[in-house]
Amino acid sequence: MTTTAGNDTASDGTAGNDTAGNDTTSSVTTSEGTRTVAPVGPAAPGRRWHRPSAYVERYALVAVWLVVVVAFGLARPETYATTGNLQNILGSQAVLLILALGLLIPLTTGGFDLSVTSTLSLSAMLVAVLNVQHGWSLPACIAAAVAASVVVGLVNGACVVLLGIDSFIVTLGTSTFVLGLVQWLSDSTAVTGVDPALTEWTVVNRLFGVSLSFYYGLLAAVATWFLLTRMPLGRRLLFVGRGASVARLSGLAVDRIRWGSFVTSAVVAGLAGVVYAGSLGGADPSSGSSFLLPAFAAAYLGATAITPGRFNAVGTFVAVYFLVSGVVGLQMLGVDNFVQQLFYGGALVVAVALSQLVRRRTSGAG
C-alpha cells in the first residue's frame, strides 16, 4: 500500500504544503484502486484570505485588544495609560505566556494536558528546595527540574499512547499526583530564599524598562511559531490532530508524535516553573494551579485569531495580553477580585465556542 498527502509522500512524512488557509486532501492507493480521503483542514484556495471577512477574522482579537486598552486608558489615564503600567503588564505575564505556548503542542495533535500547572509547581519547588535546603547550584537545580518535567511528560504520553486512555483523564490524574508530590517536597509550606541570581535574570534585570522574563516568553513565542508554521514537524502535528487514522496511513509515526507532544508540553511547563521560581524568589506549593484556566483561555482564544481555526503562537501571544489588559483595567476601576475569575472563565467558554465555529467554517469551505 502506498500513501500520499497532498504534494508530500509517505517517504518524508510531511502532511502536504500546509500553510495558513491551505490544507490538502489525502489519497490512499490499495489493491482495489485509489480512494481520496476527506480533507483534514481548511480548503485549498489561498484566495480566501483576500476576502475582507477573512481579514476581520484574523485580526478581530487584535482590534478588540486595542479597543480595551484605549477604553481603560481613557477611564484611568493617570494609572492605566502609563509607561510603568505597560512595562508591568508585559513583564508580569511571562509565566502564563510560556505555559500557554507549551499547551499548543498537545492541543494541535488533538490532546489535552491538564497537568501543566502541577508540572510548573513541581519544577519551581524543586529549584527552591534543592537550592535553598540542599545547597545545589542553580544550573543543577534547573537540570533536575527539567528532568522531572520530562518524566511527567513521558508518563502522560505512555498512558495515552500505550494504554489508550483519554488524555483528559490521564493528565487530570497525573496533575493530582504531581501536586501531591509538591506538597510532600515542600511540607505544604512556601520555600523562599532562592539564589538571587535567578531573580536577577528574571525580574530584576530589565531591557527597555521591561523585565527579562518578558523576553523569555517572546523567545518562546517565536520558537513555537517557527515550529508550527515553518517546520515539517509542525505540519505533522496538525495532520495528526485533524485525522490520526489518515496520518497513520500516510506513514506518519502518530504514536511517537503524540507522545512527544506531551513530553514537549511538560518540558515547557518545567521551564515556566523555573521562571516562576525566579519571579517569586522561591516557590509556593499551591499558587501554580491558578494558571490553568488562563492558559487554556489564551490557547483557545488565540485559535480564533491570526490563523483562525488553528492553535497558533501569535494568536496566543495576543490572547494572553488581551486577557491581562482587561483584568488589570477592571482592577484599576475598583472591581472586586472575583471578577478576574469571571473574566477568565467567560473568556474560555467564548473562546472554545468561537474556535469551534471558525474551524467548522474553514473545514466546510472545502
Count of residues for the chain? 366
The rounded Cα 147 to chain-centroid distance in angstroms is 20
| 250 residue type, one letter | S
CATH topology of domain 61-364: ABC transporter involved in vitamin B12 uptake, BtuC (1.10.3470)
The Cα 364–Cα 281 span in angstroms is 50
What gap in Å lies between CA 288 and CA 149, rounded to an integer? Answer: 15
Check residue 340 and give its pLDDT.
72
Q: How, if at all, do strands 33-37 and 26-30 pair?
A: antiparallel
CB atoms near residue 31 (< 10 Å): 5
pLDDT score at 341 = 74
* pLDDT for 307: 85
Q: Which residues pair with 5 in a beta bridge?
A: 8, 26
- pLDDT at position 17 is 40
Q: Is 26 helix (H, G, I), strand (E, B) or coil?
A: strand
What is the spatial distance between Cα 317 and Cα 217, in angstroms, rounded to a whole number?
Answer: 9
Using H for helix, E for strand and C for coil, what is the string for 295-354? Answer: HHHHHHHHCCCCCCCCCCHHHHHHHHHHHHHHHHHHHHCCCCCHHHHHHHHHHHHHHHHH
pLDDT at position 42, please?
43
Could you identify the residue written with the cell 537540570?
143
Give 103's Cβ-side CA count (13 Å radius): 32
User: Residue 102 in contact with residue 269, Cβ under 8 Å?
Assistant: yes
Sketch the domain layout of the chain as residue ranges.
61-364
Please give the pLDDT value at position 336.
73
pLDDT for the residue numbered 156: 96
**Whole-angstrom distance, CA of residue 273 vs CA of residue 116:** 10
The model carries a pTM of 0.81
One digit per residue, pLDDT tens: the chain, 366 residues? 444 444 443 333 343 344 434 444 444 444 444 444 434 444 444 444 456 667 777 888 888 888 889 988 898 888 888 889 899 889 889 999 999 999 999 999 999 999 999 999 999 999 999 999 999 999 999 999 999 999 999 999 999 999 999 999 999 999 999 999 999 999 889 999 899 999 999 988 889 889 999 999 999 999 999 999 999 998 999 989 888 888 888 888 899 999 999 999 999 999 999 999 999 999 999 888 889 988 998 998 888 888 888 899 999 999 999 988 888 888 888 877 777 777 777 777 777 776 667 666 655 554
Other C-beta atoms lying within 10 Å of the C-beta of residue 347: 22
pLDDT of residue 53: 66
Q: What is the pLDDT of residue 261?
A: 95
Give the residue among 220, 225, 317, 319 at the shortest CA–CA distance from 272: 220
pLDDT at 5: 41
H-type helices in the chain, by residue range?
A: 52-75, 83-92, 94-108, 116-128, 138-161, 167-186, 196-199, 212-230, 232-242, 244-249, 254-280, 292-302, 313-332, 338-364
pLDDT for position 358 = 65
Alpha-carbon span 118 to 151, nearest angstrom: 13
CA 268 to chain centre: 9
